Structure 1
Amino acid sequence: MQLILRRLQLTSGVVMLVYVFLHLVNHALGIWSLDLAGQGLTLAIRLWHSVPGTILLYGSAALHFSLAIHTLYGRRHWTLPLTDWIRLWAGLSLPLLLIGHAVSTRLAASLYGFEPNYERIVTSLITGGTQGLQLALLAPGWVHGCLGLWLRFRHHERVRRAKPILLAVLILLPLLSAVGFIQMTRAVEAAHAILPALDPTLVQHRLSLDAWRHNLLVLYVSLIIGAVLAGHLRNWIERRAA
């Protein structure tokens, strides 16, 4: 059973890492032009908004999160090496950042027909003053996934020899993504003396989207805290019984 769970964790994690990787690459395309990044976004939407892509992505996300809850509950001690603490922080902080973004894009598209493009997304972020949040959005997931793969495959000789290259990719891709997003922000600001108004769909359904965002965040934090507390309670009961 443990072997099966490890393989499910690896498979679902790889799917999510591919999603994060493509997202970072897409932002990095903004270094060259907003149009090029927009073409990449169109391809990404076709991939992840299709029925197979949706099932694969959100099924993997639900599975990976369920296994994380199982791991938090089952942990017998919290004396961890620094690498594991970094990986844990990166993995748990990603949904806190991603939920708001997903509600404003994917959920708004699914429920209310919002059609995301980079100009609309950048305008929304500038108006809300959350450009910095967007820059930090995918870095935790990228770090978490890369560390997970490294810990899983570091015993292979070829992987150890490729460590400098892997480290360079780990650092450079988020940096290029941040530069690309900054360039897209400047392009939108330069194209409009006054920023265009927020998309009417987002304005019309702002309260509903805010409620979704709040409820999902509360649910996520409650599940994490509940799993940790339940695990501590189980450990305490077992120590008393012993």
Structure 2
Amino acid sequence: MRNTARRLQLASGILLWLYISIHMVNHALGIWSIDIAERALHLAIGLWQSVPGTILLYGAAGLHFALAIRTIYGRRHWALPPAEWLRLWAGLSLPLLLIRHVVGTRVATSFYGFEPNYERVIVSLLTSGTQGLQIALLAPGWLHGSLGLWFHLRRHAFWHRARFVLLAVLVLLPVLSAAGFVQMTRAVVPGSFAAPAPDAALVAHRAALDSWRHLLVAGYLSLIAAAFVGGQLRNRLSSGAARAPSREQR
């Protein structure tokens, strides 16, 4: 069971890492042109919002999260090396950032008639003052996935020899992604001109979308807290049960 869970975690993690990588490459194309980035975005939307893409993406996300909850509940101790703490922080913080993005794009598209493109998304972020969040959005997921892959692949000689190239990619892609997003923002709002008006669908359903965000964040944090507290209680009960026979023997 442990080996099966590890393989499922790796497979789902790779798929999510590819999704984030494609998203970051898409942002980076904005360095050259918002039109090029827009065309790439339509290809990505066609891939991930198709029936097979939706099943794969959300199935992988649900499976990866379920296995993370299982790991938190089953962990016996929390004396982790710094790299593991960094990976854990990046993995747990990503959904908090991603929920806002998913609600503002996928939920708004599926339920409220919003048609996302880069200009509309950027305008929405500018009017809500969360453009900095978008730049930082994918970094935790990229870091978590890259560290996870490294932990699994570092035993192989090729990956160990290529570690400096991999480190350069790890740093360079987020930087290019952020630069592309900034460039697209400048293209949408040139100079000192005011930003275009936000999309009418987002304005009309802002309260409903905020409710979605609050509900998802509360549910996510509740599951994490329940897994951690439940695991600690189980550990204490197990250690107490183990000490009881030793007292009886004495």
Q: Shorter-chain-normalised TM-score: which range?
A: over 0.9
Alpha-carbon offset, residue 112 of structure 1: 1.4
User: 1:194, CA displacement in angstroms?
Assistant: 2.5
User: What does the per-residue CA deviation read over 1:88-131, in whole Å, with 9 as the maximum and x for residues that have no partner?
Assistant: 00000000000001000011001112110000000011111111
Which residue matches 1:98?
Answer: 98
**Residue in structure 1 matched with residue 222 of structure 2 by the alignment:** 222
Matching residue of 1:171: 171
Partner letter of residue 118 of structure 2? Answer: Y
In structure 1, the residue corresponding to 2:216 is in which secondary structure? helix
- Relative to the length of structure 2, the TM-score reads 0.95
CA-to-partner distance for each residue in 1:116-172, whole Å, 9 max, x for gaps? Answer: 000000001111111110111000000000000000010100010111110000000
Q: 1:61 & 1:140 partners in 2: Cα distance?
A: 15
Deviation (angstroms), 1:193: 2.6
Q: Which residue of 2 aligns with 1:117?
A: 117
Alignment correspondent of 1:45: 45
CA distance in 1, matches of 2:202, 2:191: 22
Letter in 2 for 1:181: F
* Partner residue, 1:56: 56
TM-score (norm 1): 0.99
Structure 2 Cα separation of the partners of residues 47 and 114 of structure 1: 18
Determine the structure 1 residue equivalent to 2:240: 240
1:13-52 to 2 correspondences below 5 Å: 13-52=13-52
Hey, what does 1:87 align to over in structure 2?
87
Do the aligned partners of residues 8 and 141 (structure 1) sit closer, same or farther apart at CA in structure 2, a change above 3 Å counting?
A: same
Matches within 5 A, 1:55-204: 55-190=55-190, 193-204=193-204
- Distance in 2 of aligned mates of 1:130 and 1:204: 19
Q: In the aligned structure 1, how far is the partner of 2:150 from the partner of 2:200?
A: 44
How far is the alpha carbon of 1:195 from its aligned partner?
Answer: 1.5
Task: Tell me the distance in 2 between the aligned counterparts of 1:65 and 1:11.
Answer: 13
- How many residue pairs match? The answer is 242
Matches of 1:70 and 1:6, distance apart in 2? 11
Instruction: Give the counterpart letter for 2:7 in structure 1.
Output: R
SS at 2:66 equivalent: helix
**AA at the equivalent of 2:33:** S
Alignment deviations for residues 164-199 of structure 1 (CA, whole Å, 9 cap, x no partner): 110000000000000000001111111883221110
**Which blocks of at least 5 consecutive residues in structure 1 are unaligned?**
none
Cα deviation digits, residues 10-43 of structure 1 (max 9, x gap): 0100010000000000000010011111111100
Q: Which residue identity is paired with 2:104?
A: S
Structure 1 Cα separation of the partners of residues 192 and 48 of structure 2: 31
What is the aligned-residue RMSD (CA, Å)?
0.9
CA distance in 2, matches of 1:6, 1:41: 32
Match of 1:210 in 2: 210
Quick one: which amino acid aligns to residue 125 of structure 2? Answer: L
Tell me the percent identity.
Answer: 62
Task: Give secondary structure in 2 for the equivalent of 1:36.
Answer: helix
The one-letter amino acid of 1:70's match is R
